């Protein structure tokens, strides 16, 4: 499944720079097999690079992983967020549009999709602080994008609703839903989780609607 890079176009007329090929090979293989199960030899073979090139750019496999996580951070906006913002105007529906990106990944892979960041967050040993820091950065980038959508609908939520922690809750729903759907090889647990998140949002919004006398606050034109 093409997640961030289209792996079928590795052989285009303009060859990619060696470092880019190494990072893309790492991204693909760490996602497919995990970090521990991916050897340098496999990365070199996929990237069509030799060991000298690898060690020219990266001292260790961990250095390559950090570069992969940097690519994920940079790709979040163009790959995950912007397509949704371009298609959906309602800020709350945008949040569900982002969640739908993961649903489509599940459906496109027969529900074998696993979130690469989530997978690494549970796999990487606790000693690898720098990696966990970059994983947390990825989570923070994701929740910041969701929080921005929620903030655009601030007046529709009760004042007491903390939008920062709510954005983390949305990530929790995505990650927990994807995990269960992968184990069950069925999109139903993901859908069930998103449905309960929808119901939670509906209850929060209706609480606020009742408070403002049933009249939605509409900005004057």
The number of helices, as runs of H, and strands, as runs of E, in the chain is 10, 0
Stretch that binds a second copy, among 7-15, 148-156, 191-199, 212-220 (CB under 8 A): 191-199
Query: Is residue 185 part of the contact set for a second copy (CB under 8 A)?
Result: yes
List binders of a second copy among 39-98 (CB under 8 A): none
Site size toward a second copy (CB under 8 A) is 48
Shortest distance (Å) from residue 33 CB to a second copy: 7
Q: Which is nearer to a second copy, 53 or 180 (CB)?
A: 180
Residue of the chain from 192, 212, 216, 217 that contacts a second copy (CB under 8 A): 192
**What is the rounded CA–CA span in Å between residue 33 and residue 116?**
10
Query: Is residue 29 part of the contact set for a second copy (CB under 8 A)?
Result: no
**What is the rounded CA–CA span in Å between residue 108 and residue 1?**
7
Provide the 8-state DSSP code for 214. Answer: T
Neighbours of 31 (CB within 10 A): 22
Contact map string, positions 138 to 177, toward a second copy, x by CB under 8 A: -x----------------------x--xx-xx-xxxxxxx
**Residue (of 187, 74, 94, 183) closest to 134 by Cα position:** 74
Residue of the chain from 6, 77, 90, 195 that contacts a second copy (CB under 8 A): 195
Q: Which is nearer to a second copy, 85 or 187 (CB)?
A: 187
**Residue (of 1, 55, 49) closest to 25 by Cα position:** 49
**Residue (of 13, 18, 126, 120) closest to 69 by Cα position:** 120
Q: Which is nearer to a second copy, 185 or 216 (CB)?
A: 185
Residue of the chain from 41, 51, 108, 122 that contacts a second copy (CB under 8 A): 122
Query: Is residue 199 part of the contact set for a second copy (CB under 8 A)?
Result: yes
The CA angle 42-45-50, to the nearest 5 degrees, is: 110
**What is the rounded CA–CA span in Å between residue 217 and residue 156?**
8
Q: In the chain, which ranges are continuous DSSP H helix?
A: 18-33, 40-47, 51-57, 61-75, 82-87, 91-108, 116-123, 129-151, 163-184, 188-211
Structure tokens at 123: 């796999």
Q: Which is nearer to a second copy, 82 or 195 (CB)?
A: 195
Q: Which is nearer to a second copy, 15 or 158 (CB)?
A: 158
- Contacts to a second copy by CB under 8 A: 33-34, 36-37, 110, 112, 114-115, 118-119, 121-123, 125-126, 132, 135-136, 139, 162, 165-166, 168-169, 171-177, 179-180, 182-185, 189, 192-193, 195-197, 199-200, 203-204, 207
């Amino acid at each position: 499944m093409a997640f961030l890079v289209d792996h079928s176009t590795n052989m285009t007329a303009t060859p990619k720079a060696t470092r880019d090929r190494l990072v893309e090979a790492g991204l693909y293989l760490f996602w497919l097999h995990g970090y521990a199960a991916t050897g340098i030899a496999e990365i070199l073979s996929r990237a069509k690079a030799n060991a000298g090139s690898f060690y020219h750019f990266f001292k260790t496999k961990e250095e390559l992983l950090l570069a992969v996580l940097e690519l994920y951070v940079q790709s979040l906006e163009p790959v995950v967020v912007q397509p949704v913002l371009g298609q959906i105007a309602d800020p709350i529906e945008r949040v569900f549009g982002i969640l739908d990106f993961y649903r489509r990944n599940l459906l496109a892979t027969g529900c074998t999709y696993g979130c690469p960041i989530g997978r690494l967050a549970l796999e990487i040993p606790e000693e690898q602080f720098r990696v966990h820091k970059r994983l947390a950065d990825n989570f923070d980038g994701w929740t910041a994008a969701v929080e921005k959508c929620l903030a655009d609908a601030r007046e529709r939520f009760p004042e007491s609703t903390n939008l920062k922690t709510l954005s983390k809750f949305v990530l929790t729903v995505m990650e927990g839903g994807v995990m269960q759907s992968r184990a069950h090889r069925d999109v139903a647990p993901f859908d069930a989780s998103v449905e309960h998140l929808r119901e939670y949002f509906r209850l929060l919004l209706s609480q606020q609607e009742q408070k403002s006398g049933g009249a939605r606050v509409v900005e004057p034109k």
